[in-house]
Amino acid sequence: MDYFTSLNEQQKQAVLQTEGPVLILAGAGSGKTRVLIHRIAYLIGEKRVNPWNILAITFTNKAAGELRERVDRIVEYGADAVHVGTFHATCARILRQYADLLGYTPHFTIYDTDDSMSVLKSICKRYQLETAQMKARAIKSRISTCKDNLVSVEEYAVSVATDRMLHRVATAYREYENELKKNNAMDFDDLIVNCVRLFQKYPDVLQRFQEKYLYIHVDEYQDTNTAQFELIRLLSAAHRNLCVVGDDDQSIYKFRGANIRNILDFVSVYPDAYVIKLEQNYRSTQPVLDTANALIRHNRGRKNKHLWSEIAGEEKPVLYLFQTAPEEAEFIAQETGRAHRLERVPYSEIAVLYRTNAQSRLIEERFVKEGIPYTLVGGVNFYARKEIKDLLAYLKTIDNGIDDLAVRRIINVPKRGIGATTVEHVQTYASNNNISFFDALCEAENIPAVARSLSKLKSFVTLIRAFRTKEQSCSLEELLRDVINTVKYLDYIKELDDDDASGDNDRAANIDELLSKIVAYEEEAQETEDGATLSGFLEEVALVADIDSVEGGSERVLLMTLHAAKGLEFSHVTIAGMEDRLFPSDMSIREAESGGDALEEERRLAYVGFTRAKKRLTLTAARSRMTHGEIRYSRVSRFVEEIPPELINDKTGGNYRNNAYTIPDEDDDFREISFARPKAIPKKVTKQAPFIAGAARGMNALHKGAPPPVEIAYEEGDRVRHLKWGDGEVVSMEKGARDTKVEVRFDDGEVRIMYAAFAKLEKL
């Protein structure tokens, strides 16, 4: 076959260069997946490499599924033997074979984020580790950072020995690891870390996989962390046939541990690496790319690339500036409806992106009023819903009784008359005897304190054992249905929602969806080497990401954060809230002022947003936005100002540049502020929102909603308490005509400026 069909010259080079380390710098929309597929096909068909000697690693199940499907289409022989999977799934598969070498059983549980937080919160409560400055979530983040960087409990404890605050984190880290090990469980980070430790500790095991995976491909390499880098380095060390594909300009996951230096320093680690740039974009028109190129050029820490396209199009990205956020949301909704009705743009080809989830509310409300169907990406994950977590906990307990978290979740669900006190007595017995919670239940007759509940505990143990017996002789679908029927779970959820008539219907529909998922898993698993297993199903469920739930072809507009949009593309893209201290964020600006590089990652995030658009890119901003109960005035994002004016269709009259308009403070008379309205706002917007028809009326309306002056009982230097932000110290106070501006340095290290009437600070 012709392995180079539809490939450009640079893509052909990437396919032909099969030996040694290869770095493919693939710009947005440059066909990197096509290159990976043709490279795998070329290795099998032309180089006669056995399919099972090829490994391709991605970051999401969606990307892995797409790669697998396209490999199957193009590879004529042995495609199913090529290992395609995510980092976590690949490591989980390896650990299932060798977990015993690390002290786990092959049926170890994979804890999702909620499970991990439940364990950690319990530890923090037990050892009183939380403080106003260090909450459980922050502790979990530091533990995750340690694991991402392969820092062990012992190493971290030594490094923070003299820091009282971080010593608490070290204690939490140690107890968290002990708890996971006792429960025969691993969190997501452990899947990578334990695989690295397995390879480091057992060279013979590493050698087996080095001989198995002779050609290794890694997609989205810019998103790898230190642990993933080391995993790939170890696997490829023997034969060095490592091909990494990525784009440093799209590195936006530092908060998840991604280390951009992995891709920027690839040639330093592999001096003989062959570097190929893919710069032809197959997604967007040139005007969209010109804007993205002009923006990202302001970053210093990057490999030089310049995207170009042969796609016809003369429509420049357009900028609108509004007085208020509600006006911005109304415009976005009306423009979306207009594009669908008049231009016949499918709703599925339209996306609205924003920097923070909080921005979605106003847009959602306007979409509802306009009758525009939409899907909010990043809401409550399907697998995080109570009814789904309950049933999965039953399945985890059946599969792995060592998982205390799962057993404790369902021991009284539905209610069996087993109270919290009884549960704590059992837990104490388990801890004192160093056994699992379920094993303690099996020995409940040895716990005098639970004598009155003994029969109920024994009934629960018998129930689980009966389900385990059933598992050996029935399908997973039949097992789940048996669990639901035996414990009368549908009756239980009806009782849960008797105050909400629609609630039990929604929960029942979710349970039906879980049954559909388990049936689909069994059908797909029939064609695999291991077949369908309960452990396999639970592993697949645990590895599902939020964005994997986005259904292709759904006739709905997608609303999502810029982070969630990575990897997607749409005909029409609107990015809302292009304002300084919103995007880029206030935190990144402050870090940049202290010499950090956070602004570069924020700029990369904007670049990702721009390059999602195939045809039309719309940028919107609002001069005032309600934040934490206060009206905040902002300038247009510096990212917009960095783009040459000739590249943007400016609907603001040009007064957004160089901070040309004034941001009022609380002493200004709102009636004297003369903001010019964007020229291209449809008249319908003005008619439907008379309170913002003009700048003066808009500001007056906002002012009319302001509360009357309040009596202030604190002064500079006093300790105060805020309902949301906790305790802090008043740094400064500035009295205005209508309210007093208060600057507070809170105990979490953040300095926040607020107005007394809204803040309602309490003196301590």
**CA 206 to chain centroid:** 31
32 given a catalytic annotation? yes
- Please answer whether residues 477 and 511 qualify as being in contact, where contact means their C-beta atoms are separated by less than 8 angstroms: no
Torsion from C-alpha of 369, 375, 379, 385, nearest 10 degrees: 110
250 given a catalytic annotation? yes
Tokens representing 141 are: 């983040």
Q: What is the distance between the alpha carbons of residues 375 and 366, in angstroms, rounded to a whole number?
A: 14
CA torsion through residues 440, 445, 449, 450, sign: positive
Q: What is the distance between the alpha carbons of residues 541 and 525, in angstroms, rounded to a whole number?
A: 14
Name 275's bridge partners. Answer: 23
Among the options 612, 614, 635, 638, which is catalytic? Answer: 612
Each residue of 434-471: b (16+ CB within 10 Å) or e? eebbbbbbbebeebeebeebeebbeebbebbeebeeeb
Q: Could you tell me which of 468, 474, 466, 476 has the C-alpha nearest to residue 533?
A: 476
> Checking DSSP bridges between strand 242-246 and strand 215-218, what pairing results, if any?
parallel
> Checking DSSP bridges between strand 22-26 and strand 242-246, what pairing results, if any?
parallel
Q: Could you tell me which of 251, 260, 309 has the C-alpha nearest to residue 30?
A: 309
Tokens representing 49 are: 């490499």
Phi, psi (degrees; rounded to nearest 5) at 612 = -75, -20
Among the options 187, 189, 219, 230, which is catalytic? Answer: 219
Residue 9 exposed, middle or buried by CB count within 10 Å (0-12, 13-18, 19+): exposed
Q: Could you tell me which of 41, 573, 541 has the C-alpha nearest to residue 348?
A: 573
User: Which amino acid belongs to residue 660?
Assistant: A
Give the CA distances from residue 210 to residues 15, 58, 236, 239, in Å, rounded to whole numbers and listed in that order.
22, 19, 7, 8
- Structure-token match 């690390």, residue found: 102
Among the options 10, 32, 580, 604, which is catalytic? Answer: 32
Alpha helices in 309-377 (DSSP H): 325-342, 360-370
Among the options 13, 18, 33, 627, which is catalytic? Answer: 33
Among the options 86, 224, 228, 250, which is catalytic? Answer: 250
- Please answer whether residues 387 and 511 qualify as being in contact, where contact means their C-beta atoms are separated by less than 8 angstroms: yes
Q: What is the distance between the alpha carbons of residues 206 and 225, in angstroms, rounded to a whole number?
A: 20
Residue 342: CA count within 13 A, CB half-sphere: 6
Q: Could you tell me which of 645, 660, 644, 655 has the C-alpha nearest to residue 677?
A: 655
E-only strand ranges, 541-641? 557-561, 570-575, 613-627, 630-633
Q: What is the distance between the alpha carbons of residues 290 and 305, in angstroms, rounded to a whole number?
A: 12
33 given a catalytic annotation? yes
Residue 382 exposed, middle or buried by CB count within 10 Å (0-12, 13-18, 19+): middle
- The secondary structure of 687-720, three-state, reads HHCHHHCCHHHHHHHHHHCCCCCCCCCCCCCCEE
Torsion from C-alpha of 733, 737, 738, 743, nearest 10 degrees: -20
Torsion from C-alpha of 453, 454, 455, 458, nearest 10 degrees: 120
Decide: helix, strand or coil at residue 439. Answer: helix
Q: Could you tell me which of 257, 260, 302 has the C-alpha nearest to residue 292?
A: 302
Q: What is the distance between the alpha carbons of residues 34 and 60, in angstroms, rounded to a whole number?
A: 17
Name 525's bridge partners. Answer: none
Among the options 130, 148, 190, 220, which is catalytic? Answer: 220
10 given a catalytic annotation? no
- Please answer whether residues 30 and 307 qualify as being in contact, where contact means their C-beta atoms are separated by less than 8 angstroms: yes
Residues with a known catalytic role? 32-33, 219-220, 250, 612
